[in-house]
Amino acid sequence: MSYDPPRPAGRLLLTPEDKDAPARVRRLRRLGLGEHAEPAFDAFANRLAEVAAVPYAMVNFIDENRQFFAGLHTPDGSGASILPPAADTGDGTVPEGGRYMARDYGFCPYVVVRRRALVLEDVCDYPRFAGNPVVDEIGVRSYLGAPLIDHTGIALGTICVVDVEPRPWGKAGLETIKTLAAELVERIERREASGGF
């Protein structure tokens, strides 16, 4: 993965087509991921936030229609201040304390489809990303995320850090998020091998 900031495209970000979603969903189900919050993922999100000195950090698994923050760090610990309206769950409830988010919100779906880290020091510099609902509804101004690609080659989701102010992530930030993503994938694979996290 290289430092490859997106270029201004002069249009809004459209949620990218995700041809790997069915295989990802099958893999996530086999791993038992993407439907329940886990203390280990929350602890990892807390570590991400501490390392990056940001108010928000997530471990995010993505299916065909929505994102699930299995690990979530927010300033108040509730998640309520970062998450927009949840994706439709079919029964009118918001499961897991609002940890679901529609797939067309945020930048993680782009990272998963692209299979590369994404550095947005100021999302407003990129019209393609500045039009995303998280910018106006939540106040997201900077984003740094990396895909979680396991040994099968499937991008299971992402880890990311977010700030409400522009951040000069630079190459150091990129290398850090990629290293932490690789560490979490290794932990997930050890969990699979041993039957526990």
C-alpha separations of 103 from 7, 49, 53, 182 in Å: 22, 23, 26, 23
Apex 79 CA angle, 78 and 83, nearest 5: 150
- What's the pTM? 0.82
Q: What is the dihedral of CA 60, 64, 66, 70, to 10 degrees?
A: -30
Q: What percent of the chain has pLDDT over 70?
A: 80
Radius of gyration of the chain (CA): 15
pLDDT in tens, 48-78: 999 999 999 999 999 988 999 999 999 876 5
Mean per-residue pLDDT, 83-111: 64
More confident residue, 51 or 92: 51
Q: Of the candidates 121, 137, 129, which has an alpha carbon nearest to the alpha carbon of residue 177?
A: 121
- Residue ranges and CATH numbers for the domains of the chain are 21-74+81-187 (3.30.450.40)
- Concatenated DSSP letters for 136-165? HHH---EEEEEEEE-TTS-EEEEEEEEESS
pLDDT in tens, 134-187: 877 778 889 999 999 999 999 999 999 999 999 999 999 999 999 999 999 999
Q: What is the mean pLDDT of the chain?
A: 83
State residue 55's pLDDT score: 93
Q: How many CB atoms lie within 10 A of CB 60?
A: 27
Confidence band, pLDDT 50/70/90 cuts, at residue 27: very high
> Is residue 195 scored above 80 in pLDDT?
no
More confident residue, 178 or 104: 178
> Is residue 91 scored above 90 in pLDDT?
no
Mean per-residue pLDDT, 91-117: 77
> Is residue 88 scored above 50 in pLDDT?
no
pLDDT in tens, 10-22: 444 466 789 999 9
